[in-house]
Amino acid sequence: MKALRTYLDKIKPKFEEGGKLHAFRSVFDGFETFLFTPRTTSTSGVHIHDSNDSKRTMIIVVLALIPCLLFGMYNAGYQHWLAIGDTSFPFWSMLLYGFLAILPTIVVSYAVGLGIEFVVAQWRGEEIQEGFLVTGMLIPLICPIDTPIWMIAVATAFAVIFAKEVFGGTGYNIFNVALVARAFLFFAYPAKMSGDKVFVAHDTIFGLGGQSIAADGVTGATPLGQIATHVGDTAPVVNDLAGNAISTWDAFIGLIPGSFGETSTLCILIGAAILLFTGVANWRVILSVFVGGAAMASLSYALQSPTYPASMINPIDQLMLGGFAFAAVFMATDPVTGARTHTGQYIYGFLIGVLAILIRVYNTGYPEGAMLAILLMNAFAPLIDYCVVQSNIRRRMRRVNVKK
Partner 1 sequence: MAEKITNKSVLFNPFSRNNPVVVQILGICSVLAVTAKLEPALVMGISVIAVLAFSNVVISLLRNTIPTNIRIIVQLVVVAGLVVIVDQLLKAFAYEVSLQLSVFIGLIITNCILMGRLEAFAMANKPWPSFLDGVGNGAGYAIILIIVGFFRELLGSGTLLGYQVIPQWCYDHGYVNNGLMILPPMALITVACIIWVHRSINKDLQED
- Residues forming contacts to partner 1 in the complex (CB under 8 A) are 148, 150-151, 154, 162, 184, 187-192
Q: Which is nearer to partner 1, 162 or 283 (CB)?
A: 162
Q: Which is nearer to partner 1, 190 or 243 (CB)?
A: 190
Q: C-beta of 349: minimal distance to partner 1 in Å? A: 26
Q: Which is nearer to partner 1, 101 or 320 (CB)?
A: 101
> Is the separation of the CB atoms in 159 and 181 below 8 Å?
yes
Q: C-beta of 371: minimal distance to partner 1 in Å? A: 14
Q: C-beta of 148: minimal distance to partner 1 in Å? A: 6
Q: What is the 3-state secondary structure (H, E, C) of 222-250?
A: CHHHHHHCCCCCCCCCCECCCCCECCHHH
Q: C-beta of 109: minimal distance to partner 1 in Å? A: 18
Q: Which is nearer to partner 1, 36 or 167 (CB)?
A: 167
Q: Which is nearer to partner 1, 92 or 150 (CB)?
A: 150
Q: Which is nearer to partner 1, 151 or 325 (CB)?
A: 151
Q: C-beta of 384: minimal distance to partner 1 in Å? A: 24
Q: C-beta of 139: minimal distance to partner 1 in Å? A: 17
Longest dimension (CA), the chain: 82
Q: Which is nearer to partner 1, 14 or 192 (CB)?
A: 192
Q: C-beta of 157: minimal distance to partner 1 in Å? A: 12
Q: C-beta of 158: minimal distance to partner 1 in Å? A: 9
Cβ-proximal residues to 282 (8 Å cutoff; 6+ apart), any chain = 333, 335, 338, 345
Q: Which is nearer to partner 1, 1 or 191 (CB)?
A: 191
> Is the separation of the CB atoms in 332 and 375 below 8 Å?
no
